[in-house]
Amino acid sequence: MIDLIIFDCDGVLIDSEVLSADAIIEELAKVGIEIDRDYVRENFLGRSWPTVAATIRREHAVPLPEDFEQRYRNILLERFTTDLRPTEGVSDMLSSLDIPFCVATSSSPTRVQRSLTMTGLSGFFEGRVFTASQVERGKPAPDLFLLAAKTLGADPARTLVIEDSLPGLQAAQAAGMRMLAYCGGAHMAGRPPAAGFDLRAFDKWTDFPHLITEIKERGEVQ
């Protein structure tokens, strides 16, 4: 029933979204743009940097300094170095997984590699990391997920995507893939999965094997 599992990275494999949100909130405040975590969650979560920058320019009409992205990435790397952790239980889950899997993320190649290395997860994904830089259209377009499935020889209809963001779920739906919403990251605490999707959500990796068994036995995730 399942040929491939595609994991998002930020907020799914690594508990990074609160760190990312706080870093961009602080950097934007320096150029006169005031936002909060809810704004970041609704407008930036799951999107690539070019899309985030375009949203800032469009909605706030404030030109970003040429070095803004680099400043943001530098402060985020500092926080990742001291505070980044894998989501609870993900290492044990990946160690026991008997279905081929990969990661497909809107993060840059450099950032995702550093993130996986810092959290001790890089060994699970050697040669199976896909980023938005490899496709013309990032999430919510299906291109990235379809690239991953094609590269690894998987049928999209027999591919399962694990996502935490609305753009990611939209991308999975557009790709014709099954999906589950992971809500175990700190940024999702007490919040339901993305609105508009009637799908199974879970917040503990210890529950994941049982969900996989259900999908195999019943051929569905709802």
Count other Cβ atoms within 10 Å, centred on residue 132: 24
Lowest mean pLDDT, pick from 39-43, 45-49, 139-143, 208-212: 45-49
Q: Which pLDDT belongs to residue 61?
A: 85
Q: Which residues contact 50 (CB under 8 A, 6 or more apart)?
A: none
The band of 222, judged by pLDDT with boundaries at 50, 70 and 90, is very low
Q: Is the pLDDT of residue 219 over 80?
A: no
Average pLDDT, the chain: 91
| φ, ψ of residue 118 in degrees (nearest 5) | -60, -30
Cα within 13 Å of Cα(104), Cβ side: 32
**Which class for 117: exposed (0-12), middle (13-18), buried (19 or more C-beta within 10 A)?**
exposed
pLDDT digits (tens, 9 = 90+) for 160-201: 999 998 899 999 999 999 999 999 988 887 666 665 566 788
Query: Taking the CA atoms of the chain, what radius of gyration do you get in angstroms?
Result: 17
Instruction: Report the distance separating Cα 222 and Cα 220, nearest Å.
Output: 6
DSSP helix/strand/coil, 163: strand
What one-letter code names the amino acid at 1? M
| φ, ψ of residue 184 in degrees (nearest 5) | -95, -5
Mean pLDDT, rounded, for 12-31: 93
% of the chain exceeding 70 in pLDDT: 94
pLDDT digits (tens, 9 = 90+) for 59-100: 998 888 999 999 998 998 899 999 999 999 999 999 999 999
Q: Which residues contact 72 (CB under 8 A, 6 or more apart)?
A: 23, 24, 27
Q: Which pLDDT belongs to residue 63?
A: 84
Beta carbons of 108 and 131 less than 8 angstroms apart: yes
Q: Which pLDDT belongs to residue 193?
A: 62
DSSP helix/strand/coil, 10: strand
Q: Which pLDDT belongs to residue 121?
A: 98
pLDDT digits (tens, 9 = 90+) for 101-126: 999 999 889 989 999 999 999 999 99
* Domains of the chain and CATH, by start: 4-15+84-218 (3.40.50.1000), 17-83 (1.10.150.240)
Q: Is the pLDDT of residue 3 over 90?
A: yes
Q: Which residues contact 38 (CB under 8 A, 6 or more apart)?
A: none
